[in-house]
Amino acid sequence: KYKEDLENLLAFYRKKGFRDAQIVSDSIYYDAQKEHMFIDITIHEGERYRIRKITWEGNKLFSASELASLLPLKEGDYYNQEKLNKGVTEKLGSLYYDRGYIFAQITPREIPVGKNVLDIHLTIQEHNPVKVRKIVVKGNTKTKEKVIRRELKIFPGDIFSRDALIRSQRDVFILNYFSDVTPNVKPVDDSHVDLIIKVKEKTTDTANMSAGWSERDRLVGSVGISMNNLFGNGQSLGFDWTFGRYYRNFQISFTEPWLFDTPTLTGFNLYDTKRDAYYVGYSQKSRGGSIRIGRRFRWPDNYFRGNWVYRLDRTELGDFSDYIRERNPNNIATEHWPLVSSTITQIISRDSRDRPEFPTTGSILSFSIEFAGKILGGNVDYHKYTFSLKRFSPLFSKFVLYTDTEMGFIDGFSSKSRIPYLELFFIGGDGLSRSVPLRGYDDPLAGGTVYTEGGRILLKQSLELRFPFASNPTAYGIIFAEAGNTWSNLSNTDPFNLRRSLGIGARIFMPMLGMIGFDYAYGFDNYDAHGNRFGKWKPHFVFGRGF
């Protein structure tokens, strides 16, 4: 340890330009009582060097100016051995490595030309780029090999590219089928390498079952199962059934991400919902489904994709309470039910996260346009737009800053257009219904609240500081602040009149259960039936999804 400290001392001097610094002598001794130890070190600092010029030799692939722009040392700077070494290995070496020149050698030579001045001459032996001979996949006990290979961005016969290999690792990892994805480059000869992609399977299927009894609701419960890598083919199948005395919901969905082994997504969703008027003030009968098709894009970059959805929904509300009839939010009590929505939606999205469960960099962007009209076979007419941007930014240590911006707008094609009540924007709660989640507040569609008015304008902003507890299973804590609101039209929209909240929470990803989370939030802008504002703490439980 002492010898390491001496080397660190010299390294410190050489970072400051003292290239010739030497330890002349050092000694360790104790006092007469043997209670204290003393260390004496004599150092010859030498001159502090500046760099006069930097020259290059042997570079054919890149120009001298391109290479010099990457080197952290510039002409006129003080000499810094650490910057020189890192610049050669991490910057210049990576530049050649990324182009397939994995055997390129870069040798710096320091040439003193005066008392405290030196030149740096870098000699480069580029050699030839190597090609990928074969790619071997290991560790996939459930997932079929083609599911992994179709995510790769590098292929046998290609010139090796580290960028393509890193992107391939990311795309396989983001499938969320594996707890680890490790690529390895194995040189075969001077012209070829083999790539070894080693994966570690993890549980991808989740299931939940719960039941309870209360005097009001009698028997209540839910059964759900989600198979996210069906038979190892990468398909997903989901089934959910929630039942109770006053509420029942059934839903089934299926997704094929690679139709006919092409990057074309297809899928469908079917649902049936029935709710009695008790507690929420109106009964609901909804039945419908959707089919979707999607495709990955190459432009603006290959993180983008497009999805197109056709949805048919029949919803009928009735049995309105006196309170609902009196207030008649969004004219639901006088609407001519049922409403049939026949809609087409286009969704453009971009997902560049580095990992699925605890992203540290990247973003998720989504913009959707939905049209409903009688020309499509329904009896409602509206156009709806939603925008969402989620960003993940690494901070100090392992802390991550997460931001989420959501905006929405819906309107009819004319003053006589019928817009379904449940297509309007509602904000509050934990997102288990159609409402946009806002912690610290009740869900306006869950009943038990006076806020049942839907808005045509939505704005919400969230900010979270995330810090991991464990990596296997993934667990992390959060400190968050968020604010949002809805408005009935553009004229009364006020982006400074938002409902605000602060809180703390935690998330853990459990095998067979998915994500489990708990948040405790303080909502500053709750209102009672008389319009009086008050603050209160509210717990939120999260199962299978995140805010």
The answer for residues whose C-beta is within 8 angstroms of residue 415's C-beta and 6 or more apart is none
253/261 Cα distance (integer angstroms): 21
Quick one: which of 63, 120, 119, 124 has its CA closest to 93? 124
- What's the length of the chain? 547
Residue with tokens 């390498």: 193
- At 446 the pLDDT is 65
162/212 Cα distance (integer angstroms): 54
486/427 Cα distance (integer angstroms): 7
- At 214 the pLDDT is 52
Fold match between domain 131-201 and domain 276-543: no
- At 217 the pLDDT is 54
- At 547 the pLDDT is 43
| pLDDT tens figures, 94-150 | 999 999 999 999 999 999 998 899 999 999 999 999 999 999 999 999 999 999 999
Quick one: which of 203, 482, 151 has its CA closest to 357? 203
Between 3.80.10.10, 1.10.3720.10, 3.50.50.60, 3.10.20.310, what CATH number should domain 131-201 receive?
Answer: 3.10.20.310
Q: Which CATH class is domain 1-48?
A: alpha beta
The answer for residues whose C-beta is within 8 angstroms of residue 380's C-beta and 6 or more apart is 339, 340, 341, 372, 374, 417, 418, 419, 420
The dihedral formed by the CA atoms of 434, 435, 441 and 443, expressed in degrees to the nearest 10:
-40
- At 546 the pLDDT is 46
- At 206 the pLDDT is 81
- At 209 the pLDDT is 65
Which residues of the chain fall short of a pLDDT of 50?
451, 546-547
Report the DSSP beta bridge partners of residue 247: 275
Quick check: helix, strand or coil at residue 41? strand
208/25 Cα distance (integer angstroms): 70
Every domain of the chain and the residues it spans: 1-48, 131-201, 276-543
Between 3.40.50.150, 3.30.920.30, 2.40.160.50, 1.20.1260.10, what CATH number should domain 276-543 receive?
Answer: 2.40.160.50
Q: How far is CA 243 from the centre of its chain?
A: 33
Opening angle at CA 353, ends 351 and 357, nearest 5: 120
H helices of 16-139, where?
64-70, 81-86, 93-98
- Global pTM? 0.83
User: Which amino acid is residue 55, in one-letter code?
Assistant: T
**In angstroms, what CA-CA distances link 158 with 135, 146, 378?**
11, 19, 52
Residue 3 DSSP symbol: H
- At 194 the pLDDT is 96
461/146 Cα distance (integer angstroms): 40
